[in-house]
Amino acid sequence: MHFVDPSREVLAETLIAAGPHSPTLCDGWQTKELAAHLYLRGHRPSVGIGALIKPLSVVSEKATRTLAAKSASTPAYEALVNDFRKGHPFYSPMRVRSIDTSTNLIEYFVHTEDVRRATSRWAPRALDEEYSNALWDELIKRAAILYRGVDLGIVLVRPDGPRHVAKRAPVSVAIVGEPGELLMHAHGRTRHALVTFEGQPDAVALLESAEVGL
């Protein structure tokens, strides 16, 4: 099943409900900046890629903040979110389903939670089993990259049994949680991920202080 389209819809609804000036877990961004990022990422791929490449990050951030400023009113913000909701333009490589999944499935889940979990009261969503499995499949493809800055072995463990060795080292820590929670941790939302750790206390402490994610 293709989960990207419903994930985009949930993200758009979450953004609309929050309004343009709500906090997010993205450092320095309110929801209007996040909406601008999502729109530009789909319609101006060079800007989206720039967010991940340091020499281009200044240009990407400027474009994001410029569009966000234009979208500060509720009508303009909702129009921006609805443009994002419509999906990719005809020229986008993300119209290819496999590319769409690998590029956006995790992105949309994490950013939905970036809005939901930025408030003082939140609860994890009950996710469909197939959706959780799809998130897990994408996570294990990139886990080694996401934990590359951690000087430990990392084992990702689901409560229902599956486990994945993300990184090997003489000393390891197991991170235990549902796929969505493991995703949040792996993408640097470590204080907002409902996970537990199994390992030596000093190793766990090292993981808790490490820089995780892209």
- Give the C-alpha separation, 179 to 156, whole Å: 9
Q: How many CB atoms lie within 10 A of CB 11?
A: 26
Looking at the whole model, is its pTM more than 0.85?
Answer: yes
Q: Please enumerate in sequence order all residues whose Cβ is within 8 A of that of 76, keeping only pairs 6 or more positions apart, or say none.
A: 20, 70
pLDDT at 100: 86
How many other CB atoms sit within 10 Å of the CB of residue 171?
A: 12
> How far apart (Å, rounded) are the C-alpha atoms in residues 160 and 157?
8
Q: Would you write out the chain's pLDDT as a tens digit for each of its 214 residues?
A: 689 999 999 999 999 999 999 999 999 999 999 999 999 988 886 665 655 556 667 788 889 999 999 999 999 999 999 999 998 888 888 888 888 888 999 999 999 999 999 998 899 999 999 999 999 999 999 999 999 999 999 999 999 999 999 999 999 999 999 999 999 999 999 999 999 999 999 999 999 999 998 7
Query: Cβ contacts of residue 191 below 8 Å, gap of 6+?
Result: none
Residue 172 DSSP code: E
Copy the structure tokens of residue 73. 């009113």
Cβ contact 163:140 at 8 Å: no
DSSP state of 120: S
What is the pLDDT at residue 51? Answer: 56
User: In the 8-state DSSP scheme, what is residue 204?
Assistant: H
